[in-house]
Amino acid sequence: MELLRKLEILADAAKYDASCASSGTEMRDSRDGKGLGSTAPGMGICHSYAPDGRCISLLKVLLTNACNFDCLYCVNRASSNVARARFTVDEVVKLTIDFYRRNYIEGLFLSSGIIRSPDYTMEQVVSVARKLREEHRFRGYIHLKTIPEADEALIAEAGRYADRLSINIETPLEESLTQLAPEKDQRAIRRTMGRLRLKLDETAEAKKTVRRAKPPRFAPAGQSTQMIVGADEANDRVILSTSANLYGAYKLKRVYYSAFSPIPDASRALPLQAPPLVREHRLYQADWLMRFYGFDADEIVEENEGMLPLDIDPKLAWALRHRDRFPLDINKASREELLRVPGFGTRTVQRILATRRTTTIRFADLAQLNVVRNKALPFIVLSDHRPSPSLLDGAGLRARLRPKPQQLGFGF
């Protein structure tokens, strides 16, 4: 099969993986003239965007889309009739280098269907990374998908070459994984995540203690995972508490939420409809609240509700449920309190704290602080602004803050 056709099949098969990040790894460059590539300091670089709004920072492909497993949500499942292809190790290596030299990408994200055995598949995936690093002295970003239950030695080797390792939890409910992906075992997935975390901890620990030999490198950008949203019955509360557990137990850098989208040759057992993109977006916002705003998973979604509201963001929804904590004087409130004001981002809070050390913040200053004003105003007090009590307590507040419904269009 010609290379272009293979690329088409194997990139198409990889497009359901939401992970795109190329950030948070160690700093590398090739100024010594003995290799190719660098990692971007701080955040990674998105080299392009697709019309689905998603960033293209890595060459994201499967090594092969042939798979022994029959996961119903997956386009590559054994029983689907899609065209199959398989890259050779050298083909992926060459494509990565060729794309990289033209500044199309930051590196490679390699995943694979499971063929022959988990160990065989993992070995193939690892050999691409090994070749890139050792033969081509490639110093760009590499993200490898870990195959559950692959041998520990292979995982260690993967961590030596990769910046990030990931293994997908797939579904929040273990029961639905059993139904949708009979060969996948969530316990095995969790065990692998646990092993990865122990390895990451070990390496971090070894770096702290002074030693003659450097500890073997292990995935400096950590591990991440993905959950499919909308293919089973799990509600948002279940999803977020699953995430909280994953973050706490395995110190994941990211949990990605992937709204289940229609796939070619779909199984009849699945809900066939357009993907719930707004719901996915709300979950990312809620996830953000857990990671950067000090929210606990179970306060984001009300116990008796189960789902995040789709019409307003989760922080605004939380504030509307906790009106007794507002209005908040932003010249006096603590950092933790400020982080809970709708329309305030972490940078806004930082700026407020720095500014109010020397001057009092007034209404006219809000524009410079990057505050989303219509969201924040009912909840804050300034020396020259105080929301009327009837506004904050009134029944109409939610309707007032909800964005006006718009005709969806393509923006062209």
Q: Least Å distance between CB 10 and other proteins?
A: 8
CA-CA distances (angstroms) from residue 392 to 8, 51, 246, 283, 314?
54, 40, 36, 26, 18
Phi, psi of 300 (to 5 degrees): -75, -40
Residue 48 and residue 96 in contact, taking contact as beta carbons nearer than 8 Å:
no
CA-to-CA distance for 339 and 343, rounded, in angstroms?
A: 9
Q: Is the Cβ–Cβ distance between 315 and 293 less than 8 Å?
A: yes
SS3 (DSSP) at 399: helix
User: Rounded to the nearest 5 degrees, what angle is found at the Cα of 244, between the Cα atoms of 239 and 250?
Assistant: 120
Q: Which is nearer to other proteins, 52 or 324 (CB)?
A: 52
Query: Residue 213 CB, nearest distance to other proteins (Å)?
Result: 23
**Minimum CB separation from other proteins for residue 357, in Å?**
7
Is residue 186 within 8 Å of residue 241, measured between CB atoms? no
Least separation in angstroms between residue 397's CB and other proteins is: 27
Three-state SS at 140: coil
- Closer Cβ to other proteins, 270 or 381, answer by number: 270
- Residue 36: beta bridge partners? 138
Q: Which of 144, 246 has the CB closer to other proteins?
A: 246
Nearer to other proteins, 122 or 397 (CB): 122
Q: Whole-angstrom Cα distance, residue 116 to residue 92?
A: 20
For every residue of 279-325, DSSP letters joined together read HHHHHHHHHHHHHHS---HHHHS-TTT-S--SSS-HHHHHHHHTGGG
Nearer to other proteins, 81 or 390 (CB): 81
CB of 216 to other proteins, least distance (A): 18
CB of 409 to other proteins, least distance (A): 9
Question: At 71, is the secondary structure helix, strand, or coil?
Answer: coil
Q: How far is the CB of 235 from other proteins (least distance, A)?
A: 16
Output 99 or 256, the one with its CB closest to other proteins: 99
Q: For other proteins, give the closer residue by CB, 183 or 305.
A: 183
- Which of 109, 95, 91, 96 has the alpha carbon at shortest distance from 146? 109
